[in-house]
Amino acid sequence: MNKARLLKRVLEIIPGGLSWGIIILLILLAFLHPVASAMVIISFDFYWIIRTVYLTTLLIMAHQRLFQQKNEDWLARCRSLSLSLGFSQLYQVVIFPVYNEGLEVLRPSLTALSASHYPMEKIIVVMAFEERNISAHDNALILEEEFRGKFGSYLSTFHPDDLPGEARTKGANATWAAKAARKFLDARGIAYEQVVISCFDADTCVDQEYFGCLAYHFLTSDKRHRASYQPMPVYNNNIWEAPFFARLVEISSSFCQMIESMRLEKFVTFSSHSMSFKTLVEIDYWPTNMISDDSVIYWKSYLYYNGDYRVIPLYVTVSLDVAYSNNIWRTMMVQYKQKRRWAWGVENFPFVVDGFIKNKNISLLNKIRRSFHLLESHVTWAVWAVILVVIGPLPLIFGGSFFSQMAIAYNLPKITGLLFKFTLLTSLTWIFLSWTILPLRPKGISWFKHISLIMEWVFVPFIILVIGSAPAIDAQTRLMFAKYMEFNPTLKGNKVL
């Protein structure tokens, strides 16, 4: 094994090793020294209470910003700008990488795009199909017929299978499509500096104001080419039809992303996002062999520009499908696999640290800070539910009669109970906020659904048990043992428009 490979393996082992180390250590501590174990658990409980309150406050702030900017006429604001790069010179390239999604998923995404409050002649749509998908050409033809005239330009690309150095990932397809777009721009003499590129999941339905908001932030940013632009993903497309389990998980995911948007020093791109086309070309496009292309593109840029790169949050939504299946068990599996794929973002850690080691221009402090944030977020994801749900009661179970006589044995469940009361309090806030971001109730769905949407939050502890930490542990363990995951798109439900 050469040095580079050895370093990569060590870095791949670190997150899973840390997570498993914490879990095993705490379990052993519960057996060997229940008092110390109880103290660690109480400390973690207290940390979690404070963290929950803090994050809920950030969520409220993000929510408030989202609603504040909801009715903003971004287009008017863009037109009022007088900058060297004018709004009229700006082009939007929109890529939809398609894996095997059918017309029922793609059509609403294009319909939403065509309804954008933005000059359509400035939008270049690239439908990026996979050549290996047997219905790709047929679907491409149908969509071209329906949507060709609705945008400035409309391209269909077909990504060949098994290109050297590529894995079957969304990034490989998006890169192929971006290169096609580059040729298109070159042919028309459009400078890359004038182009913003958006890479959307196939089920992404943009808000009408998205491109106006994006254009405004792009034009007014002091270093517009040193930033990615991240909208707020909400899983609203089919939320009224989705089973409670999937709905709750996805609402929580939306909220987590909103919270992240308030922590700019940690904020990285996720799912559908936009960036300068010039930047994309300079950093050599999305990675073609990594699953978490959406976040790796940020880290690639960060490393390429020696740390001078950021993500600007856009407080405007893009709506995606809730992933679910036809029964609760299969829905849980679908959700589990989707979250595991997200947790596979842990592959960023070896990528980033390896990049930091090679890069001599980023300050050591920044390297440590960013590496720590990345590692901490993945390790916390993998251990928090295990500590709260599994390890929490262990000192009481294995402490024996001596431990049960101790004051700490008596106080441990009281303090844990306090944690759950706080969680309940924050849940009430989350319930209220989730209710405010719901789309309009479709026809045929009873008014009582509103009640059930609130009542189903009682299942949150059950959901924490099922997909709290397990997908992250799964992903990190796979990375530890070099069992690399393959891109496996999530099963999407029907949309409601």
Partner 1 sequence: MYPFQKIRGFLFYLSVLLFVAGLPFILSYALGYKFNTRTFKFVKTGLIFVRTQPAGASIYLNGRLVAEKSPASMPELLPGSYKVTLELTRHYPWKGQVEVEAGKVSRVEKVILFPVRPNLQQLNQEKFSSFRIDNEKRVVYYLDQEKGVVYRSNLVAGNFEDIASFPDRFSQVNGWEVAPDRRKLFIFNQHQISVIFFDNQVEYEHPASSVILDYSQARIVNVFWHSDSYHLVVLTDKNIQVIESRLGTLPVNLVELNKASEVAFYDTRGDTLYFSDSQRSADGSFYNNLYKLELSANLYLLERLITQPFGQVNPAHKEAAGE
From the CB of 434, what's the least distance to partner 1, in Å?
Answer: 21
One-letter amino acid of 133? N
CA 444 to chain centroid, in Å, comes to 31
Alpha-carbon span 365 to 437, nearest angstrom: 39
Closest separation in Å from C-beta 39 to partner 1: 6
CB of 38 to partner 1, least distance (A): 7
C-beta of 45 vs 130, nearer to partner 1: 45
Taking the least distance from each CB to partner 1, the nearer of 409 and 437 is 409
Specify the amino acid at residue 36: A
- Residue 127 and residue 144: Cα distance in Å, rounded? 9
- Beta-sheet pairing, 195-199 with 91-97: parallel
Q: Which 8-state DSSP code applies to residue 132?
A: T
Taking the least distance from each CB to partner 1, the nearer of 411 and 488 is 411
DSSP characters over 274-296: EEEHHHHHHTTSS-SS-S-HHHH
- Of the two residues 69 and 477, which places its CB atom closer to partner 1 in the complex? 69
**16 vs 399, which CB is nearer to partner 1?**
399
CB nearer partner 1, residue 368 or residue 458: 368
Task: Give yes or no for a contact between 194 and 85, defined as CB atoms under 8 angstroms apart.
Answer: yes
Cα 56 to chain centroid distance, Å, stands at: 18
Between CA 209 and CA 116 the distance in angstroms is 6
- Distance in angstroms (rounded) separating the CA atoms of residues 484 and 497: 37
Can you give the three-state secondary structure of 74-129, one letter per residue? HHHHHHCCCCCCCHHHCEEEEEEECCCCCHHHHHHHHHHHHCCCCCHHHEEEEEEE
- With respect to partner 1, which residue has the nearer C-beta, 64 or 327? 64
> 3-state DSSP call for residue 437?
coil
DSSP states of 211-268: HHHHHHHHHH-TTGGGEEEEEEEE--TTTTTS-HHHHHHHHHHHHHHHHHTT-TTT--
Is the Cβ of residue 24 or residue 418 nearer to partner 1 in the bound state?
418
Distances in Å between the Cα of 58 and the Cα atoms of 63, 247, 256, 482 are: 8, 22, 10, 36
Between 56 and 338, name the residue whose CB sits nearer to partner 1: 56
Smaller CB separation from partner 1, 313 or 345: 313
Instruction: Name the residue nearer to partner 1 (CB basis): 414 or 483.
Output: 414
Q: CA 25, 26, 30, 33 torsion: positive or negative?
A: positive
Q: Are strands 153-159 and 227-234 parallel, antiparallel or unpaired?
A: unpaired
Residue 167 corresponds to which tokens in the numbers above?
């894995």
Longest dimension (CA), the chain: 81
Q: What is the spatial distance between Cα 495 and Cα 108, in angstroms, rounded to a whole number? A: 7
For partner 1, the closer CB: 54 or 459: 54
The Cα 321–Cα 205 span in angstroms is 9
Q: Which is nearer to partner 1, 404 or 452 (CB)?
A: 404
Query: Smallest distance from the beta carbon of 415 to partner 1, in angstroms?
Result: 6
Q: In one letter, which amino acid is 53?
A: V
In the complex, the residues that contact partner 1 under the rule CB under 8 A are 35, 38-39, 42-43, 46-47, 50-51, 53-54, 57-58, 61, 65, 262-264, 404-412, 415
* Token pair in block for residue 206: 């943009």
Q: Which of 495, 496, 175, 472 is nearest to 338 (CA)?
A: 472
Residue 125 identity (one-letter amino acid): V
Residues contacting 55, CB < 8 A, separation 6+: 259
